[in-house]
Amino acid sequence: MRLPVFDANGNRTQEILEVDEKIFGEKVREALLKEVVLMHEARKRVGTHSTKGRADCAGSGRKLWRQKGTGRARVGRARAPHWRGGGVAFGPKPRDYGYSVPKKAKKVAINSAWLAKLQSKNILVFEDFGIEEPKTAKMFSLLKSLGIEDSRVAIALDRPGKDDEEKQNKNETLWKSVRNLPKVSMDEISRFSVYTLLSHDKIVVTKKALDDLVTSREGTVTTLKRDEVYKKS
């Protein structure tokens, strides 16, 4: 799989990155992706819904009338579910809807999600964003130059070192430039989940972030020159 590299103005550079997509798996595991997405959505449920049972309703516990001799059906207290104002039978109570899938399944799923984005050509690689100070307008114009200003975009960055203060400041500046864009999110590439990848239309990554992603899966990123590639073809 070959990925073009863009500069800070949204133009293609002379570099083309070549990645062996097989490090992410042989095929996209759609059923597994669905299972992991459902798990994520279940964990997001607050689960604060609640109904009153017969023990929680206001009212007397007295038997409404005697068991026999009235000619009417036998009844109990007025808080029974079949009475108006009574409790709810088998109603929902506060609960945690979260559950988990095996670690191996999560690993296969995240690889499958990256493979799906690669195959659909929805990953854009940037050399540098060139933002020295927080400017939302500049980030928007960059997305507009690529025609993805109306798409849901996730920006993936490499993780800066503890002592790399310059990189940390650069990431913070970029974050301040995208936080007011409603359809744009940003995070370190190692923290991307299956839900993040599938819920965004485009994934924008830096060269360093892509290299970290590939090397963590024992792969390599090969840098090619556009002129050389076109000559061979």
Question: Do the strands 12-19 and 221-225 form a parallel or antiparallel pair, or are they unpaired?
Answer: antiparallel
Residues 80-89: contacts with CB under 8 Å, at least 24 apart: 80/54, 81/54, 85/57, 85/59, 86/54, 86/57, 86/59, 87/51, 87/52, 87/53, 87/54, 87/55, 87/56, 87/57, 88/51, 88/52, 88/53, 89/53
Q: Are residues 106 and 9 in contact, defined by beta-carbon separation less than 8 angstroms?
A: no
Average pLDDT over residues 105-120: 96
Average pLDDT value over all residues in the chain = 92
Q: Are 137 and 61 part of one and the same domain? A: no
Distances (CA, A) of 23 to 26, 187, 216, 217: 8, 22, 10, 6
Q: What is the pLDDT of residue 89?
A: 94
Q: What is the pLDDT of residue 164?
A: 80
Which band of pLDDT confidence, cut at 50, 70 and 90, is reported for residue 129? confident
Q: What is the pLDDT of residue 203?
A: 96
Q: Are residues 155 and 183 in contact, defined by beta-carbon separation less than 8 angstroms?
A: no
Which band of pLDDT confidence, cut at 50, 70 and 90, is reported for residue 227? confident
Locate 131 and state its tokens: 């933002």
**SS3 of 15, please?**
strand
Q: Is the pLDDT of residue 8 over 90?
A: no
More confident site: 42 or 233: 42
Burial of 177 (0-12, 13-18, 19+ CB in 10 A): buried
Q: Are 129 and 185 part of one and the same domain? A: yes
Integer Cα distance of 109 and 128 in angstroms? 29
The CATH number for 120's domain is 3.40.1370.10
pLDDT digits (tens, 9 = 90+) for 143-184: 998 999 999 999 999 888 777 888 888 889 999 999 999 999
pLDDT digits (tens, 9 = 90+) for 173-185: 999 999 999 999 9
User: What share of the chain has pLDDT > 90, as a percent?
Assistant: 79
Q: What is the pLDDT of residue 128?
A: 84
Distances (CA, A) of 160 to 95, 122, 149, 178: 39, 25, 27, 19
Average pLDDT over residues 79-99: 94
Task: Phi first, then psi: give them for residue 146, nearest 5 degrees.
Answer: -95, -5
Q: Is the pLDDT of residue 121 over 90?
A: yes
Q: Are 139 and 167 part of one and the same domain? A: yes
Q: Which domain holds residue 58?
A: 51-91
Q: Are 8 and 121 part of one and the same domain? A: yes
Q: Are 11 and 87 part of one and the same domain? A: no
If one counts the domains in the chain, the total is 2
Integer Cα distance of 217 and 204 in angstroms? 19
Q: Are 208 and 152 part of one and the same domain? A: yes
Q: Are 126 and 156 part of one and the same domain? A: yes
**SS3 of 201, please?**
coil
Task: Phi first, then psi: give them for residue 122, nearest 5 degrees.
Answer: -110, 20
Which band of pLDDT confidence, cut at 50, 70 and 90, is reported for residue 230? confident
Q: Are 121 and 61 part of one and the same domain? A: no
Q: What is the pLDDT of residue 163?
A: 76
Q: Are 140 and 207 part of one and the same domain? A: yes
Q: What is the pLDDT of residue 167?
A: 82
Q: Are 6 and 55 part of one and the same domain? A: no
Q: Are 25 and 132 part of one and the same domain? A: yes
Q: Are 105 and 36 part of one and the same domain? A: yes
Q: What is the pLDDT of residue 232?
A: 57
* Sheet with strand 153-157: strands edge to edge: 184-188, 153-157, 202-206, 123-126, 2-6, 12-19, 221-225
Which of 15-24, 78-87, 127-136, 199-208 is least confident? 127-136
